[in-house]
Structure formats: structure tokens, C-alpha cells
Amino acid sequence: MRSGVPTGSPRGGRAPDGFASMPGCPRRLTQRVHESPRSTTRRNAGSPPRRSGGPRPPSAPLLSRNLRALSLVETARHDGVALITLNNPPANAYSHEMHRELDAAILDARFDEKVHVIVLTGAGEKFFCAGADIEMLERVTPEWKYYFCLHANETLNRLEQTPKLVVAALNGHTVGGGLEVALAADLRWAKTNGGKLGLPEVALGVLPGTGGTARLSRMLGRSKAIELMTSGGNMSFDDAQTLGLVNELLPAENFLDAVIEKAQQYCPPHKASMAVGHIKRSVVSGLEMSFESHLSLERELQQQLFKSADAKEGFAAFNEKRKPKFEGR
């Protein structure tokens, strides 16, 4: 957990002591500077007004179109992929305000029938998401902290339960609450030599409280999860890949372009995205069931797919010895 500024508080704040020594992480988080390399932004109707502080500098078009700018979260669509960017440089520390915007962005992507894959990344080159505002945590009440964690749980559960593939594109350091966000994704693709990864909350006398203990233990098993969280150390992306926390390392040059291109391979016509979503639902929901109940869920989801246009196309293409052209339905 360990991040956040209450809604209405000034952005920025002091990064955790465990993160301050990391390259590029100042002791004081500075006023946000727009670092997104993506296309020119436009405000969506009904989105919150931008904060004062001067106009954003123009950004060069690179990846996406139809970009919608929010205060702390940016979203874009790019040929079946919804790109969600945590935008609070330099460290992209998250807050309750950011989670409210992230929640809205997740729901947007969930209801958009043209979106088949969700990619979550951080603005800039050095951080996916790192740190917390220690001054805020010291200032707010324990009750406020509790509801902050509860809402973070609800937001990340929504991301995890969305029946579309979710990829965390780790463009830089991914520590504390940032790793807890990434653990709610289905796949984690990291930039080669791009940063460190870890859950150092124990150094503050607390635990990873927005899903860290629950998701890491399910992913790595009891003993290894306890070891990593009680030691509080950070590891390289290479070591994280060895452990299974990172699925793949992609070249640092044009990293986000490569992520988008790779994510599109899970979209129609390349992949049957409805089947991808059902596979995710069977795994995520089924792991919380008994084995027999999991098998029952699997059969019901398979029956839905048997009735789909994509299954009809897949069987026909196989028998006709041609490449299928899926539609995502």
C-alpha cells in the first residue's frame, strides 16, 4: 500500500525512506511535470478540470490516438488496446485521488467493446509506480488509512476481475504500492535493466496492505512470500523474472511501443479475445473455489465459447488449414 494523498491535498510529498535512495527518486516528490511521450491530449466531457500550474508542454505523437487526460491517470485507445498511464512524476506515487481515477479508467475499458487488452504503465522513464507520502500517512487518522486501503483493494480487485487480459508494463522501479498494483495484472512485462522491484513496507513498521500479502503468497507460495516481505529488499527485474514475478523482459529502447505491439497480438484478428477473457475468468475465479467447483465453472465457460463465432471460425480454419480471423465474439 504505502502511498497516497487525500483528495484535495497538494500533489507530491515525501517518498518513503526505503525508496529515496533509488536512482531518480528525490526525497521530496516535486510538482508533476508532464512526461508522456504519447499524442496530444484532449479532455473528455465530464472529466475533472485540470489543476492550475500552467499549460502542459506539447507531446510528440508516438503510440496512440484519442487520448483522454485526467489529473493523475491518462487513458488512450490503440487498436484494441486500452493504455492506462499513472501520471504523477517523478515517481508516480499513487493516492486516493489517483485510485478514484484509475477505478474510472478500468470501468471505461471494461465497458468498451473495442478494448480487448488493458495495459497499465507509468509516466516517464524511471518509475512504474513507487513510494508513498510518509508525511500524509503520519498526518491522517488510522480510520482514514483503513478506508484508503479498502478502496485500493476494491480498485485492484476490479482490475483483476475484469475479463480482459491486463498487462503491467513495468517501465521503471516498481516497489511498495506500485508492485501491489502490478500484482493485480495478469502479465508483467518489464523493461530490460529498467529498475528494481520489491515490497519494503516492513521498514516502516507496516505490511503491504493493498493486496501485497494476499497476491504475493498466492503467486510464490507461503515461504518465499514471507521471506521477500519480511526482508524488505528490492530485486532486479532479471531476478524477478527468475522468481516468476516478471513474465518477460523487453528491450529498453522503444519499450512502450513494443508492449503495445505485443499486446495487440492478444486482440482480434490474431487471438480469440473472448476465449482469452474466459481463460482468465476460469483461472482467477476458479482458484478461489474447490477443485470440483472450478471444473464446473470451466465447463460452463467452455460451453459459452462453443456457441461463439470465434469458436466456429477456429474449428473451420483448422480443418481448412488456414489462419483464423477472429472477431472477439
Q: How many folded domains does the chain comprise?
A: 2
How confident is the model over 274-286, as pLDDT tens digits? 999 999 999 999 9
Catalytic residue among 74, 125, 180, 313: 180
The whole-number average pLDDT for the span 71-76 is 93
Pick the closest to residue 77 from 228, 263, 305, 238 (CA basis).
263
> DSSP assignment, residue 265?
T
> What's the pLDDT at 138?
76
pLDDT for 132 beyond 50: yes
Give the model's confidence band at 94: pLDDT under 50 very low, under 70 low, under 90 confident, else very high.
Answer: confident
**Weakest-pLDDT range from 69-73, 104-108, 171-175, 214-218:** 69-73
Which residues share a beta bridge with 121? 85
Classify residue 59: in a domain, yes or no: yes
SS3 128: strand
Is residue 204 exposed (0-12), middle (13-18) or buried (19+ Cβ within 10 Å)? middle
* 201 plus 314 within the same structural domain: no
180 in active site: yes
Classify residue 8: in a domain, yes or no: no
Which of 244, 264, 284 terminates a domain? The answer is: 264
* 284 plus 189 within the same structural domain: no
Classify residue 110: in a domain, yes or no: yes
H helices present in the chain, as ranges: 17-20, 96-111, 134-139, 142-161, 177-183, 212-220, 222-231, 237-243, 255-264, 273-286, 291-306, 309-319
What domain range is 233 assigned to? Answer: 13-264
How confident is the model over 288-319, as pLDDT tens digits? 999 999 999 999 999 999 999 999 999 999 99
Catalytic residue among 125, 201, 261, 300: 201
Q: Three cell numbers at 250?
A: 523487453
Sequence-distant (≥ 6) Cβ neighbours of residue 24 within 8 angstroms: 90, 91, 126, 127, 172, 173
